[in-house]
Structure 1
Amino acid sequence: MPSPRAAHDTASGSPHTPPQNGSGPVTRRTVLTAAAGGLALTGFAAAPAQARGSTALSVRGADLSFLPQLEEVGVTYRDLKGRVRPAERILADAGATYQRIRVWVNPPAGYTDRTRALLLARRAHRSGLRIVLDPHFCDFWADPSKQPIPAGWPTTLPELSEKVRTYTRDLVRAFAAQGTPVDIVQMGNEITAGILWPVGQLYPADGSQRWSEFTTLLKAGITGARQGAGRRPPRIMLHIDRGGKLGDTQWFFDNIVDRQVPFDIIGQSYYPMWHGSLADLQANLNDSVTRYGKPVLVAETSYPWTLEDGDGYENLITDASGLPDVERFPATPAGQAGFYEALRDVLTGIPGGQGLGFLAWEPEWIPGVGWEPGAGAPNDNLTQFDFTGRALPSIRAYRRP
């Protein structure tokens, strides 16, 4: 998700984005980014490959990267029966199979750097969850509106590519060394407009398109991820923010394929308030698996369970006008649960069993921690726990097939 700072750059398009397969500018969602060391572990089971033609969703999980910070300020979570339990265990008991972990290079104190990410991985492992690693390749939030190079990193392409390779290698190696190997690695976060700006910025203000530089950096990170994993290479996901935007998705991945970037999974952010209806999502995902021969994963999603605000910090979604299926899925706990059930139906219907599943974005991020120091939580009505930490009915969407 994009940061609140980017929320005002709406999906109206940008003069710096490329044509949508010859039919107009690529729309640019900039919404909710922010929003916001270890003991050796053994016995971690590898994720089974999804059988072709199966309708089972092998990936059912969530990004819970704010969880330690929330616990540190006293937030607790309760399951549907009212029992106090860690949030990741509540989701795992509901049937979740994966946890996504965000990693920043040098974020503000308390936010998820490598050390905190490794601790989260050990917790996920103890709950039986596999790992999706989400390195932002930034010191803090990265999304389609911003992808700055970390302070202290090189700023020329050859040196920066080598830094991306070694950084990714060492990061993935650290997870493997503590017995929590990464199953899926994202190459950056919502990389629709490139990474590591300005070197890998796809659509800079001068109107150029730096596909060569961008894909050079991607390939360096992919090489590093495979080197760090050793004999158990992770699956590589390329994650963009075009869930229901078919033309934009084709533009991006046509260029990726033309430049021979090796990857395994097409990842999409899908927030219906910015990316269209579930029918739009279904059309786009169906096209992708046919056009590229790759499985698809909804790598980020969420939906409001209320239009109320829990912390006095204005939420990104304050009315239902932008929800395309609001009559089917009102902003209530039941409406949110219905949305997740319909999303499951879309994914299980992807041709050839190529719909891997979904990852909810920060469903535990109830009031208590801001998207940056001193700020609030702008999506506390998009969680799967209410303002007091009680699980909402939508967690049943993690159930086993």
Structure 2
Amino acid sequence: MEPKWIKGMDVSFLDEIEQGGGVFHDGDESADALRVLRNGGVHSIRLRIWNDPPGEYCNLERTLLMAKRVKALGMHLLLDFHYSDRWADPANQWKPAAWSDLQGSGLEQVVYDYTYEVLAVLRAGGALPDMVQIGNEITNGMLWPDGRIETGEDPGAADGQWTRLCGLLKAGVAAVRDTNESVRVMLHIDRGGDPKGSRSFFDRIEAAGIDYDIIGLSYYPWWHGPLEQLSRNLDELSARYGRDLIVVETAYPWTFCAKEGFPLIVENDEALPAAYPATPEGQAAYMKEFADVIRRTKGGRGIGFYYWEPCWIPSQREWSVGHANNWSNLTLFDHDGYPLPALYIP
């Protein structure tokens, strides 16, 4: 059952963190991070899946293991298809290597087959997701170059690009619907603070008749602007499309003190709201106001959020993704794996 309000966490790194020696705590005792999150009021877990990633983390085999753990705790599960061997975001949406020669209907068919196969494996393992993303931050398309959306193109070229992208999206959605009609489908872009950009994208989606249930947005204040912009965007999207909305990625710093040898992607407060300092208390206050903004969405369509990688503590320097952990001050656990106050905001 989907909770009325989704308080979710993306813990896609957790498998690798645990294998690398990361330890989490509940009080004075070490504990399963998923149980700590559940005890902190988390209802849902988001997991990404890559096709054939380096190091194998986030592949189907490892995702099945994590999904089983989530379901064993009675939690709601969102599965995030990147349709790539690595990160998929607005600047990176590269096809899996195994699909590099596929185009047109052949690429659409493999999207359908792969999506259906993954969901069939998870269903057989008792871990069918409750919600599925078809692509991750697909503002500029996915499965490049075939499904790439370029800005500044002439209208005719843009129409052709959108036709190709929507064909790929329809294939993924069809696989979800054919697996289980009760699984909700999300389309996710990165424009949490950009009403014009969000409207431009979803107008095209609506015009193409894509069958989906939920609008997903990424919103990081240092990239996407003040909470007022998020609020305006949520209200406008709710009124325009009449669909539920989830901020499916967010985070906020709790310190600027890094563990030695670990860089920080957010290392000062220049792009942060002055009312919320980078302290454990400031992080908690910000997250409460952020959640309240979503709850206040017109029409009651703002149904929750997912915090991006609350567990990425500085437990190891080398990662299968090929870069250092630069997120250790944006977690919901301190450097030693103890939960921070922001975890417990409702």
Partner of 1:97: 43
Query: Structure 1 residues 364 and 264, CA, compared in 2 at 3 Å: closer, same or farther?
Result: same
**1:330-345, aligned counterparts within 5 Å?**
330-345=277-292
Instruction: Tell me, in whole angstroms, the C-alpha distance in 2 between the residues paired with 1:107 and 1:151.
Output: 10
Partner of 1:309: 258
User: For the Cα contact (< 8 Å) 1:92–1:128, is it kept in 2?
Assistant: no
**1:239-258, aligned counterparts within 5 Å?**
239-258=188-207
User: For the Cα contact (< 8 Å) 1:314–1:378, is it kept in 2?
Assistant: yes
Deviation at 1:396, TM superposition (A): 0.6
- Residue number among 62, 68, 71 corresponding to 1:116 in the alignment: 62
What is the aligned-residue identity percentage?
39
Give the number of aligned pairs.
340
- Residue number among 362, 372, 389 corresponding to 2:337 in the alignment: 389
User: For the Cα contact (< 8 Å) 2:45–2:77, is it kept in 1?
Assistant: yes
**1:24-173, aligned counterparts within 5 Å?**
46-47=1-2, 50=4, 57=5, 59-79=6-26, 81-153=27-99, 154-173=101-120
User: For the Cα contact (< 8 Å) 1:311–1:377, is it kept in 2?
Assistant: no
Instruction: Tell me, in whole angstroms, the C-alpha distance in 2 between the residues paired with 1:375 and 1:267.
Output: 26
What is the TM-score with the length of structure 1 in the denominator?
0.82
User: Residue 342 of structure 1 aligns to a residue in which SS?
Assistant: helix
- Residue number among 226, 234, 237 corresponding to 1:288 in the alignment: 237
User: Residue 236 of structure 1 aligns to a residue in which SS?
Assistant: strand
Deviation at 1:350, TM superposition (A): 1.3
User: Residue 84 of structure 1 aligns to a residue in which SS?
Assistant: strand
Partner of 1:29: none
Amino acid at match of 1:183: D
Matched, 1:365 2:309: no
Partner of 1:221: 172
User: Residue 186 of structure 1 aligns to a residue in which SS?
Assistant: strand
Query: Structure 1 residues 374 and 162, CA, compared in 2 at 3 Å: closer, same or farther?
Result: closer
User: For the Cα contact (< 8 Å) 2:262–2:314, is it kept in 1?
Assistant: no
Matched, 1:270 2:270: no
User: For the Cα contact (< 8 Å) 1:131–1:183, is it kept in 2?
Assistant: yes
User: Residue 231 of structure 2 aligns to a residue in which SS?
Assistant: helix
Instruction: Tell me, in whole angstroms, the C-alpha distance in 1 between the residues paired with 2:176 and 2:236.
Output: 28
Q: 306-315 or 210-219, which moves further after superposition?
A: 306-315
Deviations 1:163-214, CA, capped at 9 Å, x for gaps: 0001011111212111122111001110000000000001179664210000
User: Residue 228 of structure 2 aligns to a residue in which SS?
Assistant: helix
Matched, 1:355 2:306: no
Partner of 2:142: 195
Deviation at 1:371, TM superposition (A): 5.1
Question: What is the Cα-based RMSD across aligned positions, in Å?
Answer: 1.6
- Residue number among 289, 293, 311 corresponding to 1:346 in the alignment: 293
Instruction: Tell me, in whole angstroms, the C-alpha distance in 2 between the residues paired with 1:272 and 1:93.
Output: 27
Deviations 1:312-336, CA, capped at 9 Å, x for gaps: 232211111011x1x2111111111
Instruction: Tell me, in whole angstroms, the C-alpha distance in 2 between the residues paired with 1:73 and 1:372.
Output: 11
Deviation at 1:373, TM superposition (A): 5.1
Q: Which has the higher helix share?
A: 2
Q: Which runs of 5+ in 2 are unaligned?
A: none
Instruction: Tell me, in whole angstroms, the C-alpha distance in 2 between the residues paired with 1:205 and 1:197.
Output: 17
Q: Which has the higher strand share?
A: 2
Deviation at 1:228, TM superposition (A): 2.3
Deviation at 1:110, TM superposition (A): 4.0
Q: Which runs of 5+ in 1 are unaligned?
A: 1-45, 51-56
User: For the Cα contact (< 8 Å) 2:15–2:57, is it kept in 1?
Assistant: no
